[in-house]
Amino acid sequence: MASVVVHLLVGIFFWPFAVPFGALLGLLYSFYPISLVNAFIRFGGYIAVPGFTTNSVEVNGIEFSYMDRNPKPDNKQPTVVFVHGMSSQKLSWAPVIRSLPKSWRIIAIDLPGHGKSSFDFNKKYDAEGMCALFHGLFQTLKLRKFHLVGESIGAIFSAQYAYAHQDMLASVTFLCPPGGHRLEGGQSTPAMDILDKAGEDTNTKNPLLPESAQEFRAMLDIVMYDPQRFTFHDHMLDAIVKVQSRHYPYIRRVLSDVINGGETAEEITRRTTNTDIPCLVIWGRDDKICHPSGAKLAKKLKPQTKVILLNECGHCISVDRPGKTARFITRFINKQSCVL
């Protein structure tokens, strides 16, 4: 009974503010969608993942934007760093982060040219180049023995970092890592074939860089298991595309550097087999970009790797199955003996 009274009093107090706020959101959604998208990018972290602060730090000429929670955690609690995929940003981790233990320190970064991070065309953004930037960032943040989680192209950069700086990490987790189709016995997909061509020739149309609402919906069909969950109207999707397209030149350059920067079967095998830290691989069974057969190849290259295949899950695991992903990451990290 007491809880009912409390909820009633809270509702009475806040409803005068909720009505005009809802009206403002409706106005922005209907008539100023670009302003709404920009506002979400700037302030969405505070709403999507309460308790976080958004900061930035300059590393080798790149201004890295990142979200941070519990910057001074208990030394017995782990620190986990999240790296998003291509054409995404740090806020994409919000559905996963919300289900992780509140006592953990959580950091989610924007890759160069993504989100609010800056870009420098004079730098290299292949696996080794990004690894060097990561190391500068993690040293600036004074991280040590932390857990690294990378999704899609972010998994490539995370794998290179794990190979080059094993002493810095307690574990590494890869979500739908690319490259399996380059290995013996690996299978590709139509989407991956196009992405490879787009990396080799930036004039090739990239399906993950939509230029209209229709193309945005086609992209969702590629990356998500159930794209119907994304129910925005076309004018809102056009606004998202217009805001996101500002980053396309940077994203094309990153993809080009990765594809042309030595992502061979030999390089992938070397990185995987010469890394001794604990590794978790999570893959969606319905991934239309990175063929799920890559999960078996990851296990074959490194038998001690923990591999999980999620049902009814596409390429964008952090959106399709955030709750399950968070539970598996939590169990995996809790099992590791070396935490901050």
Rounded to whole angstroms, the Cα distance separating 179 from 177 reads 7
Mean of per-residue pLDDT scores for the chain:
88
Which ranges in 32-58 belong to alpha helices (H)? 33-48
Residue 32 pLDDT > 60: no
pLDDT at 24 over 60: no
Residue that wins the pLDDT comparison between 79 and 45: 79
- Per-residue pLDDT tens over the stretch 238-272: 989 999 999 999 999 999 999 998 889 999 999 99
pTM of this prediction exceeds 0.85: yes
Is 49:100 a contact under the CB 8 Å cutoff?
A: no
Amino acid letter, residue 114? H
328-to-124, 282, 322 alpha-carbon distances in Å: 34, 9, 10
**19-34 CB burial, b ≥16 within 10 A, e <16:** eeeeeeeeebbeeebe
CA 166 to chain centre: 21
| 281 φ/ψ angles, rounded to the nearest 5 degrees | -120, 125
Backbone phi and psi for residue 308, each to the nearest 5 degrees, phi listed first: -130, 130
The answer on pLDDT for 334 being more than 50 is yes
Determine the Cα–Cα distance for residues 282 and 322; give it in Å rounded to an integer. 12
Residue 29 has pLDDT above 70, yes or no: no
- Find the mean pLDDT for residues 309-337: 94
Q: What is the mean pLDDT of residues 126-153?
A: 97
Residue 126: per-residue pLDDT: 96
Percent of the chain with pLDDT over 70: 85
Q: 169-175 and 79-83: which strand pairing?
A: unpaired
* Residue 158: strand, helix, or coil: helix
Work out the pLDDT band at 88, boundaries 50, 70, 90.
Answer: very high
CB 92 within 8 A of CB 118: no
Give strand pairing partners of 63. Answer: 58
Q: Which whole number is the average pLDDT over 207-228?
A: 94
Pull the structure tokens for residue 327. 């539970």
Q: Cβ distance 178 to 156 under 8 Å? A: yes
Residue 4 has pLDDT above 60, yes or no: no
Find out whether 222 and 208 touch, Cβ atoms under 8 Å: yes
Model confidence at 6, pLDDT cuts 50, 70, 90, reads: very low
Residue ranges of alpha helices (H) inside 120-210 are: 127-140, 153-164, 190-200
Torsion of CA 292, 326, 248, 67, to 10 degrees: -160
For 145: left if phi > 0, alpha if psi spans -120 to 50, otherwise beta; the answer is left
Mean pLDDT across 135-162: 97
pLDDT band, residue 279 (cuts 50/70/90): very high
* pLDDT band (50, 70, 90) for residue 42: low
User: Side chain identity at 203, as an amino acid letter?
Assistant: N
Rounded CA gap, 65 and 80, in Å? 16
CA–CA distance, 330 with 215 (Å, rounded to integer):
35
CA distances from 110 to 83, 240, 263, 275 (A): 7, 17, 22, 25
59 forms beta bridges with: 62
How far apart are alpha carbons 249 and 113 in whole angstroms? 9
Q: Is 200 left (phi over 0), alpha (psi -120 to 50) or beta?
A: alpha
By percentage, how much of the chain surpasses pLDDT 90? 75
> What is the pLDDT averaged over residues 118-125?
97
**In this structure, what token pair is assigned to residue 18?**
């909720």
